[in-house]
Structure 1
């Protein structure tokens, strides 16, 4: 429910509208009151006749008290041509002194200026002035320009990319932010010498302590207070504030606004060692997001939008549809809230046979899996070996941090039935004890187990969410997709997918689908690399199946439907992976914007490959890290452009027949360097790559 409009508010609205003519409108003298608005102002949700305006106001002399505010909206930055004045608004302590207001009855494709005013000791104290713009009317012949941005880790990093966007002073209709606006952790692991770039919690006792092994821990947000701390801190950055002051934002979350690699209300920190279903934590994260972001999830009436009235988990709905003139229809998707678990569970026992001989035979795949490496046994028929395997499971699980009693129960539950000898025999051989003799694979049935998809440890994201063997994973994914009525890959949920496809078929405008994760297939193909050792590593791998590579069948069907329904005028824009991509997937162009500041994918992959036993100097490291871009392009011929090392943003201009995309990038070596006082030096470090997007194609412009 919106806050009531007081009688004085209504009267001033009438006066303001009447005065928004050549005669102008003036009120009491307004003074600089920025100190009372520590996160400045922001706008969002630009539609032809409305926009959402936001601020946070704190009275330092009464920090716990609600703050009464006025909102002024004008056609000019001197506020002489006011179109709206609202009094009696409240930034309440209940919502961390945030306030967002939906303003309606505006003109299409019009620039407006706005400010919030706080009265203290008879003085009118103003926030900084914000600038926003409404969307063009649905029948307007107008090109549309926007920026795609994502992934802005604050900890020890600087927002040089936002600074560059401000330098360019692009004429934009909006900024599309596709996720990871905040990261849920404090600075325990990455302390900065600059205290202004550290993240801490005012109530650390209400946070979760995440054990990363090797004595390393960090605090991650759990309470509403924790999540609010994140937004307050991130929005303290002056360049981020200025971008919000200059452009309206359209925002969706990815995972880190709640928890890394999350699905539904499940975290993944313990890799399956514990139950991480955390609905209350999810609701806390969503409340802070709704408080701090200028968005409208319920098509609220004009006036103040109460954040706690916006539906939260399990009733969350932040996917929504925007129309910008005749040339752009933007559908913002929510990939995290409704999606199922990753197809390979983090706690999957590597030896467990997921598809047995009968299943493979029914699919006509017996000959494809005839090699001895796919042999399996019913381990219940070999009690001595089963006991050894269960003992090994307990030992490994306890070493990973699981309680011994819980580990024993888990071992009894999973070390049974059909198990792959590709995992069983190495464990038995390593045990080197009576009853641990390896089992011969000859004449044994063949099946597909999790170990054949790259899962080699009990509790691990490798072989589950990352570095998954593509060819075996694809077989398993297709079978699960078919046998679960497609629910195994239902990333968007039935209602959202239906709305997306309905939107795609509405008209022949460009249909731009905003996705927090990339549809571009990221594959390492090591099959023909003779210098890769050991030979067992010579496979094709998906780098990440937390993104759309993890739902390959749903991606294929969704992209095909979008292509056909839109008459070929469909485009995906995405983020998440901390790299730049321009590719064509299933006939649909896809643009993946680089990260604002988060660790580049090349560096992240280098750390993981080294930890897996392939340090610099090895052939594996060379192909998947040093030559990552060439390896990705070789394995996916649809990739037109890739940069796995830079930070930046992408500017997109939509016209009637084609789109233009400009990637603005800076090397990741500069992310920890502050260029606030060196704008000319910063400008010289950026490069730009331009592309033309037409129906089903991307070309260098």
Structure 2
């Protein structure tokens, strides 16, 4: 194998240098491949049905992407690539040939160097008689250059199977420089019962994975390289997503669903006994992401481990912003509480006792001489890299492309139950509501005693006494107490609960370490751009959420998914599924103790400044030296099976502002 072929196999990225002078225009983008020295792929006509894309803009380079249809699976296809300063391609700066290889599913990734900074370019590919759509891209400003403004959108969670993708059309109206994607570009699992809703984008039909594996609930998940390629090819077939890629460069990291739901390293978590490594599956997911994303990252197919790719990287835009993109799946440790001990996700990753997570984390650290390695999300090497990037950044803002939210999201399960039981008691008699505070105090004390002594059923002695004082019959009092005991959940839930331990709440020791580093190093103006939650949330990240007086260190801005199931709908699905197996939940719900989810989040988490837990959409950030302004754009849902019309696609917007020099968020008034 010659050296050129070996390099193409080992890294699958071609590098072409643009001319410093304008080349002579040569018309269309098609090429006969005569300069390539390689054969065309038979007589099948070529095309570019998945469009084009660009990514990772730097001051002097950009990565350009396409995929060629029509290959025979054996021979490469010769592809011409043209880059110009104008959409008519009269001012060419690059006119070259590249090769689409069958080993890489005929995808093309070409890094074009020698470009001018802060410049718009146009590009297109050709094969045989076919010419791709024209792409538009942009290079970053020179590092250190004074910038008055930078504007970009950030997205996540574009599930093909639920809700709609009208946000991509709405996005076309935004005046932005580039797009940040913080994960869940594809979803590896099809027909998920707990998340499939009656509404789905009518442009999104069913599709079948070539191989796939079936779970007990009937869902199918990707396993083979062909499966993961099929996911990307299906998603990229949507013309709205194609238009987004053709218009702006994208800087992307991945979430869990590019491999497996709530994944860690090369492990899946679908069932409680998923303890075996899935190395081959992880490598397949890595390769497909590498093939289909226009990212300037190293990938080594010859490396037999699952860590054969590095997606964490950093970008600088003038003197205004440094973007630090992290990988929060490939190196993370297992969740603190194993699914095997709880029988599934509930109690291990979701609705988890905070004290149990803290104890498990401390036990791991003690066994590792207090090292963060067994409780880390980033891993030791990436964590040190993150610290270096943050401390060495010379820009005003340090923006963290962060897959999962950093802010604590907890709920006081004990208070929730006390409130619900109180409401149930005072509802039995119209004369009781004025005495709510008295009943609340008695019930709180009764349940505190029951928890401390592990008494089941709870005796409710103080409540019993109040009933006697109120003239109720002994029979009625005992009947009421028996009914109240039916409302009580397992005592393990009547404590401070973490809503989601798959996010940074499940990796608290490392979060504290990162915040301590920022504070002690004097690194300011750090803002995380997060996703993966199905909600718009803005707030402050504290140095230690458990401290008596926690201090703000940085800001976290969470965007809702393009189409993924919202946080409140996930919460509702959880309640509905739990009610089928846990007899206490329906009485608890009917007791009125569960406030609307968004209200509960704000009440239990004072560092959350803005919360909309039932949303799909995206965020647009306008950055200046003095302010970061983030506009959350919320989409209207599908109604009657129809995607909302273009003039009615947006349900509303909300602006939040971060002023330079402060670790605080202000919610702008309409």
**Into which bin does the TM-score normalised by the smaller protein fall?**
0.7 to 0.9
Preserved contact between residue 161 and residue 200 of structure 2 (Cα < 8 Å)? no
> What is the deviation of 1:66?
2.8
TM-superposition CA deviations, 1:593-642 (whole Å, max 9, x none): 11010100100111112222266784489665x61111111111111111
User: Structure 1: where are the runs of 5+ without partners?
Assistant: 7-12, 299-305, 349-454
Q: 1:327-338 residue pairs with structure 2 within 5 A?
A: 327-338=320-331
> What is the deviation of 1:158?
2.1
Preserved contact between residue 186 and residue 199 of structure 1 (Cα < 8 Å)? no
Q: Which moved more, 1:611-620 or 1:328-337?
A: 611-620
Q: How many residues are paired up? A: 556
**Partner secondary structure for residue 473 of structure 1:** helix
> What is the deviation of 1:514?
1.1
Report the TM-score when normalising by structure 1. 0.74
Distance 1:296 1:3, change over 3 A: farther
- The match for 1:383 is none
Preserved contact between residue 488 and residue 588 of structure 2 (Cα < 8 Å)? no
**Partner secondary structure for residue 513 of structure 1:** strand
- The match for 1:233 is 234
TM-superposition CA deviations, 1:17-60 (whole Å, max 9, x none): 3751xxx6321445899981111000001111111000011138
The yes-or-no answer on 1:593 pairing with 2:559 is yes
Preserved contact between residue 616 and residue 622 of structure 1 (Cα < 8 Å)? no
| Aligned mates of 1:158, 1:219 — CA distance in 2 | 21
> What is the deviation of 1:693?
4.1
The yes-or-no answer on 1:699 pairing with 2:666 is yes
User: Structure 2: where are the runs of 5+ without partners?
Assistant: 9-15, 32-43, 421-486, 543-552
> What is the deviation of 1:311?
8.9
| Aligned mates of 2:171, 2:125 — CA distance in 1 | 25
**Partner secondary structure for residue 69 of structure 1:** strand
Q: 1:522-537 residue pairs with structure 2 within 5 A?
A: 522-529=409-416, 530-532=418-420, 533-534=487-488, 536=491, 537=493
Preserved contact between residue 186 and residue 218 of structure 1 (Cα < 8 Å)? yes
- The match for 2:478 is none
Preserved contact between residue 512 and residue 572 of structure 1 (Cα < 8 Å)? yes
TM-superposition CA deviations, 1:73-113 (whole Å, max 9, x none): 011111111111112x1212221111110000111111111
| Aligned mates of 1:659, 1:479 — CA distance in 2 | 40
Distance 1:311 1:68, change over 3 A: farther
Q: 1:332-351 residue pairs with structure 2 within 5 A?
A: 332-348=325-341
> What is the deviation of 1:657?
2.9
TM-superposition CA deviations, 1:150-175 (whole Å, max 9, x none): 00100154211112111x23222x21
Distance 1:154 1:670, change over 3 A: farther
> What is the deviation of 1:208?
1.2
**Partner secondary structure for residue 392 of structure 2:** coil
Distance 1:156 1:659, change over 3 A: closer
| Aligned mates of 1:256, 1:622 — CA distance in 2 | 35
Preserved contact between residue 164 and residue 201 of structure 2 (Cα < 8 Å)? no
Preserved contact between residue 637 and residue 643 of structure 2 (Cα < 8 Å)? no
| Aligned mates of 2:534, 2:230 — CA distance in 1 | 24
Distance 1:5 1:583, change over 3 A: closer
Q: 1:584-663 residue pairs with structure 2 within 5 A?
A: 584-586=540-542, 587-613=553-579, 618-619=588-589, 627-663=596-632
Q: 1:196-211 residue pairs with structure 2 within 5 A?
A: 196-201=203-208, 203=210, 206-211=211-216
> What is the deviation of 1:197?
1.5
**Residue 557 of structure 1, aligned match among 513, 530, 545:** 513
Distance 1:698 1:192, change over 3 A: closer
> What is the deviation of 1:561?
1.3
| Aligned mates of 1:522, 1:35 — CA distance in 2 | 51
| Aligned mates of 2:605, 2:411 — CA distance in 1 | 9
> What is the deviation of 1:525?
1.9
Q: 1:274-673 residue pairs with structure 2 within 5 A?
A: 274-298=274-298, 308=301, 313-348=306-341, 455=342, 459-484=343-368, 485-509=371-395, 510-529=397-416, 530-532=418-420, 533-534=487-488, 536=491, 537-565=493-521, 567-586=523-542, 587-613=553-579, 618-619=588-589, 627-668=596-637, 673=642
| Aligned mates of 2:139, 2:284 — CA distance in 1 | 31
> What is the deviation of 1:645?
0.3
| Aligned mates of 2:234, 2:59 — CA distance in 1 | 32
TM-superposition CA deviations, 1:101-155 (whole Å, max 9, x none): 00001111111110001223xxxx3111111111111121112222111001001
Distance 1:63 1:311, change over 3 A: closer
> What is the deviation of 1:285?
0.7
> What is the deviation of 1:209?
1.2
The yes-or-no answer on 1:136 pairing with 2:90 is no
> What is the deviation of 1:526?
3.2
| Aligned mates of 1:568, 1:648 — CA distance in 2 | 29
| Aligned mates of 2:225, 2:590 — CA distance in 1 | 43
Distance 1:579 1:193, change over 3 A: closer
| Aligned mates of 2:188, 2:409 — CA distance in 1 | 26
TM-superposition CA deviations, 1:281-306 (whole Å, max 9, x none): 000111111000001213xxxxxxx8
